[in-house]
Amino acid sequence: MLELRSVSKHFGGIVATDGVTLDVRPGEVHALIGPNGAGKTTLIAQIAGDLSCDSGAVVFEGADVTRAAQHERVRAGLARSYQITSIFGRLPVLDNLALAVQARSGSSFSFWRPVASESALADEARAIAAEVGLAGREDAVAATLAHGEQRALEVGLALATRPRLLLLDEPTAGMGPEESQAMVALIERIRAQVAVLLVEHDMDAVFRLADRISVLVSGRVIATGVPEAIRSHAEVRRAYLGEGAGA
């Protein structure tokens, strides 16, 4: 459903992604792992449309979206979450999610009718809040949430766009073990409805969730395969997992 054809990005003389070719199949959780600075976040940004591609193509569900604006890709069903939490801090949780629902339901060039009269938006936002474990916190101002709750809202915002492919950039970043468990459980729940491209450092989570894993080192994919294959891949072990890791 997603196909990357030798996607590259350079920042000045620094090569962030270097001819990445990758595919995500319908219904799969595809994990993207690699050491810090490997280009994982850059690649997510290129797929989502935050960053342009110097060369190569991004094909989503058969359509070339390489030149499409980010909001167009979101409308096509390609949504992302951010490694560094990016929410509407001064708005309540419910308004955060309702905005994302609003973005895909009807025109927002409506200047007169109070949005509060549209109960469908709030109802759906409430359902998403419950889905990501924020039931009962709908009225809390987003910036006042605990870190784990903000991470849940971060993923909730992406989910609320009702994507067909969800790009999750380190959803468990900075989380404690319990919160991580909850996030893994959330991904387990949603994987039936949406394909996921998951950037993650927590190897337990990766090996538990992933159908396939791609390893990115210095902007290049050095291996793609099922978890067992990656675990035993000599080059991967040398470059990334290191001695004893993944055991």
Partner 1 sequence: MQRYAPLAVLVLALAFPLAVQEPYYLSFASRIFVYALAATSLNLVLGYGGMISFGHAAFVGTGAYVSSIFLAEGVASAWIGWPAAVAASALAALVIGAVSLRTRGVYFIMITLAFAQIVFFLVNSMKAYGGDEGLSLPARASTGLPVDLGSDVVFYYVALAALAGAVYGLHRLADSRFGRVIEAIRENEARAEAIGFPVYRYKLACFVVAGAVGGLAGVLLASHGKYVNPNVLHWTQSGTLMVMVILGGVGRLWGGTVGAAAFLGLEDLIANHRIDWLAAWLPDYQQHASLGVGAVLLAIVLFAPQGIAGAFARRPRA
Side-chain-side CA neighbours of residue 157 (13 Å): 22
How far is it, in rounded angstroms, from Cα 94 to Cα 207?
Answer: 33
Please identify, using beta-carbon distances, which residue of 50 and 211 lies nearer to partner 1: 50
Closer CB to partner 1, 15 or 141, in the complex: 141
Give the number of residues written for the chain.
247
Q: Could you tell me the smallest distance in angstroms from the CB atom of residue 172 to partner 1? A: 19
Site for partner 1, rule CB under 8 A: 48, 50, 69-72, 74-75, 79-80, 82, 86-91, 95, 98-100, 102-104, 106-116, 118, 157-158, 160-161
Nearer to partner 1, 18 or 131 (CB): 131
Minimal distance, residue 206 CB to partner 1, in Å? 24
Alpha-carbon distances of 201 from 27, 73, 198, rounded to whole Å:
22, 26, 10
User: 18 vs 169, which CB is nearer to partner 1?
Assistant: 169
**Nearest distance from residue 117's CB to partner 1, in Å?**
9
Q: Are the beta carbons of 176 and 146 closer than 8 angstroms?
A: no
**Least distance between partner 1 and beta carbon 203 (Å):** 27
- Check if the beta carbon of residue 215 is closer than 8 Å to that of residue 40: no
Q: In angstroms, how far is the first alpha carbon of the chain from the final one?
A: 32
